Structure 1
């Protein structure tokens, strides 16, 4: 057995688990988060999986570097002190460690992510 995990059709896969709301929501009610965490042997403590966020706004609080590929949805990310970046399905983002800013999700966003261990 190879230990390979396959999430078929991850853009539409069901079974995402409720993950509550963002730590710093900027809209009320706060947007809901769902996801599937995927344990990856040999990843050295990096976290990975599929994550989804309903429409709303919140502050990014994650100090870790992150790579994400947007599977579905539309939104913007505005890095602190910079211009907004338009984000949509098909985009891949590379966030350096300590990237702060504001997410504004207009259409439910679903992404595949890898969060780097610090």
Structure 2
């Protein structure tokens, strides 16, 4: 089971990957939205902001945050680490229910290039 520190490092790596991406991926990540990533097996949620092509202002809260982010991800810590490490395909994990993505329709359409 991935630790909180490993999950935080994976989110930091994801942010760096998005910041250095080019083309459609960079433009998709350039939106300004609140973001949460719930790690089910650790019963924590990372909350932050997707802004300027990066994940910023990340904090950790126990359980489920009281405020819903505009873009919400839910998964296990191992799945987060595997996805960022390139060992798990996001689209397949999403289609199989291992990863949940909740967002407005327009955001999902923009985010699809990240998948």
Normalising by structure 1, we get a TM-score of 0.24
Tell me the TM-score normalised to structure 2 length. 0.24
**Richer in helix (by share):** 2
Structure number with the higher strand fraction is 1
